[in-house]
Amino acid sequence: MTRLVLVGPPGAGKGTQATALSEKLGIPHISTGDLFRKNIAEQTELGQQVKHILDSGGLVPDEITNQMLIARLELSDTADGFLLDGFPRNLGQAEVLATVLAESDQKLDAVVQLQVDEDVLVQRLLARGRSDDNEDVIRHRLHVYQSETAPLLDYYRDLLVTVDGVAEIDQVTDRILAALRDRT
Ligand code: AMP
């Protein structure tokens, strides 16, 4: 049973690593950013509500995000674990997650922090070219990470596994798997 959270600034490689880890560990990869982008692409009501927020690089309000995440966690494929990518992104979301898990006697096993220097992040994001990857929006997202999300590192200090995220993709995946093995 593996319940994991992946934390790191935009551009740290969370999505890429989450995809690889999800396959290796046999647990679903749940990305709130992907869920929002899917809703935007499909022009659902939720998508229309959040599009301008993703475009600006701000955070979607907690009520909306938490509700979407809780609905996703209720699907049966999460019974043996899950890997959260991009959630929680602030302390309020972390507390909601803890409460929801506690209601079914569950808790997180580990929180993986992907560490990457800021200049490498900006280079990677500019190269990625997603619609929210222009320079002003990138700076705003990095700022939001520092002010809203970075406090989670302390909140999760007892569960935290920190991995250097600057290396080839496979090598970073191996580092994460090794670090998780060392913990247990
Ligand atoms: P990501 O794909 O994780 O980089 O997320 C892309 C965008 O989706 C973010 O810049 C936010 O606008 C929004 N988003 C994703 N996850 C969350 C979350 N947990 N809370 C609030 N907004 C989020």
Helix ranges, the chain (H): 14-25, 32-41, 45-56, 62-73, 91-103, 118-128, 135-144, 151-155, 169-183
- pLDDT computed for residue 1 by the predictor: 59
- Whole-Å CA distances, 99 to 40, 107, 147, 171: 28, 9, 23, 34
- pLDDT computed for residue 156 by the predictor: 98
CATH no. for residue 149?
Answer: 3.40.50.300
Per residue in 131-161, pLDDT (tens digit) is 888 888 999 999 999 999 999 999 999 999 9
- Cα of 50 vs centre of ligand 1, distance in Å, is 10
- Cα of 131 vs centre of ligand 1, distance in Å, is 13
Residue 32 CA: which ligand 1 atom is closest?
16
Residue 31 CA: which ligand 1 atom is closest?
3
DSSP string, 61-73: PHHHHHHHHHHHH
- pLDDT computed for residue 128 by the predictor: 87
- Is the pLDDT reported for residue 52 higher than 80? yes
Closest to 84 (Cα-Cα) out of 144, 145, 2, 1: 2
Rounded to whole angstroms, the Cα distance separating 62 from 106 reads: 22
Q: Which residue range forms the structural domain that includes residue 147?
A: 2-183
- Ligand 1 pocket: which residues have CB below 6 Å? 10, 31-33, 36, 53-54, 57-60, 65, 86-87, 89, 93, 141
Contacts of 83 (CB under 8 A, 6+ apart): 2, 4, 5, 6, 18, 21, 22, 25, 27, 28, 29, 30
User: In whole numbers, what is the pLDDT of the chain averaged over residues?
Assistant: 96
- pLDDT computed for residue 131 by the predictor: 85
- Is the pLDDT reported for residue 24 higher than 90? yes
Can you tell me which residue has the tokens 């701000």? Answer: 58
Rounded to whole angstroms, the Cα distance separating 59 from 98 reads: 20
Q: Whose CA is nearest to atom 8 of ligand 1?
A: 33
- Is the pLDDT reported for residue 184 higher than 80? no
Amino acid at 48: Q
In this prediction, residues 23-47 reach a mean pLDDT of 98
- pLDDT computed for residue 117 by the predictor: 92
Per residue in 53-105, pLDDT (tens digit) is 999 999 999 999 999 999 999 999 999 999 999 999 999 999 999 999 999 99
Helix 14-25 with 169-183: angle, nearest 10 deg: 60
Number of domains in the chain: 1
